[in-house]
Amino acid sequence: DYEDARDHGPATIGAVTAISKTLATLATYPLIRAKVLQQTSDLKKEMSPIAIWREIIKEEGTVGLYRGVLAMSYKTVLWNALMMMVKTSVGPKRTITPPASPMGSCRVPAIPTMGRDAFLDPLAAEKLDEILEY
């Protein structure tokens, strides 16, 4: 329920943020590692991320894709969890979304034809037909 979701405390928000950030870091870390290796190694500058992953797996195994993830997790997970906890405890409570408008209370305006209202001018119609013949 939306009302109940507004009442979560800072600890709950911090825990959920930490879990979600951990999952996001685990999902994206191999790409981050490949990018860092690509930028710091002269031999890997021209290699694609997939080629770098293959080389890492060949030399270090699958665990090599996640070498250094713990250090990055301490930084990112703790920072994001603390920021969300502070935001929740210091910031104002979220406002309730207003209910939807009842059906039939608002009318949809007429859509103009090709950017302007249609007009009934026989002379203009003839001129347009003449232009279109060319």
36's tokens:
């860092």
pLDDT tens by residue, 33-87: 999 999 998 888 888 889 999 999 999 999 999 998 998 888 889 899 999 999 8
pLDDT band at 1 (very low <50, low <70, confident <90, very high): low
The pTM for the full model equals: 0.59
Range picked from 11-15, 58-62, 106-110, 114-118 for highest mean pLDDT: 58-62
Beta-carbon contacts of residue 34 (< 8 Å; ≥ 6 apart): 49, 52, 53, 56
Higher pLDDT, 66 or 113: 66
**8-state DSSP, 66:** G
> From CA 79, how far away is CA 15, in angstroms rounded?
12
